């Protein structure tokens, strides 16, 4: 598989994951938390499993957005310093951060895959929500693979090097 094919595949996967998080998990999280607040404080009848479900929905939302956030240049960096760097140093900083992120993601994917297998074999579930946890851990591994593919195919996100005044979003 060429870098262009990896780029096309991972770009589609990143958009799909982001859509899943933005249009699926995030609205579900909003509805669940709102419902739990109303039930808890108006009717004194909280959903005991809502904390577990909210945590899993939050995990899904955050991990599904990571690859697309990189592509759009919304990843975390020290803008105060980064904006004042010459373009060549910004490019080098992005490449170094991509290399470090790839190493971290390799470890994350490995651990998530191994832990997901363990969770499947042991039938591990949430404390209050009797739902299996292994699909969520496998989802973290999938998101890590897509993110690593985005970093490999585009270590510097598009538009990251537009000229601007210091302190302005680059």
Predicted pLDDT of residue 1: 64
> What does the H/E/C string look like for 73-135?
CCCCCCHHHHCCCCHHHHHHHHHHHHHHHHHHHHHHHHHHHHHHHHHHHHCCECCCCCCECHH
Query: Residue 143: how many CA atoms within 13 Å on its side-chain side?
Result: 25
The domain segmentation of the chain, as residue ranges, is 3-153
pTM, two decimal places: 0.83
What's residue 45's pLDDT? Answer: 93
pLDDT value of position 70: 84
pLDDT at residue number 158: 55
Let me know: does 93 contact 170? Beta carbons within 8 Å.
Answer: no
Q: Measure the CA–CA gap between 99 and 86, rounded to whole angstroms.
A: 20
What is the distance between the alpha carbons of residues 30 and 27, in angstroms, rounded to a whole number? 5
pLDDT of residue 157: 60
Which of 54, 53, 55, 70 is CA-nearest to residue 17? Answer: 70
Name the CA radius of gyration of the chain, rounded: 19
State which H helix or E strand residue 153 sits in: helix 134-153
Tell me the three state secondary structure of residue 132.
strand
Residue 16 phi/psi, 5-degree rounding, is: -65, -45
Would you state the torsion angle of the CA atoms of residues 117, 118, 121, 127, taken in this order, to the nearest 10 degrees?
-120
Distance of CA 111 to the CA centre of its chain: 16
pLDDT in tens for each of the 170 residues of the chain?
687 888 999 999 999 999 999 999 999 999 999 999 999 999 999 999 999 999 999 999 999 999 998 888 776 667 778 888 898 998 888 888 889 999 999 999 999 999 999 999 999 999 888 899 999 999 999 999 999 999 888 776 655 544 444 444 43
Per-residue pLDDT at 41: 94
């Amino acid at each position: 598989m060429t870098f262009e094919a990896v780029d096309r595949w991972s770009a589609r996967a990143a958009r799909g994951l982001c859509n899943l998080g933005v249009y699926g998990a995030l609205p579900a999280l909003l509805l669940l938390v709102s419902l739990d607040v109303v039930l808890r404080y108006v009717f004194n009848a909280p959903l005991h499993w809502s904390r577990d479900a909210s945590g899993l929905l939050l995990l899904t939302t955050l991990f599904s957005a990571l690859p697309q956030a990189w592509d759009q240049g919304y990843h975390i960096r020290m803008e105060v310093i980064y904006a004042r760097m010459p373009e060549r140093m910004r490019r080098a900083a992005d490449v170094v951060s991509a290399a470090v992120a790839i190493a971290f993601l390799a470890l994350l994917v490995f651990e998530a895959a191994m832990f997901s297998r363990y969770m499947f074999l042991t039938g591990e579930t949430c404390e209050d929500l009797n739902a299996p946890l292994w699909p969520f851990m496998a989802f973290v591994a999938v998101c890590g693979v897509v993110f690593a593919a985005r970093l490999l195919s585009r270590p510097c996100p598009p538009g990251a090097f537009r000229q601007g005044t210091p302190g302005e979003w680059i």
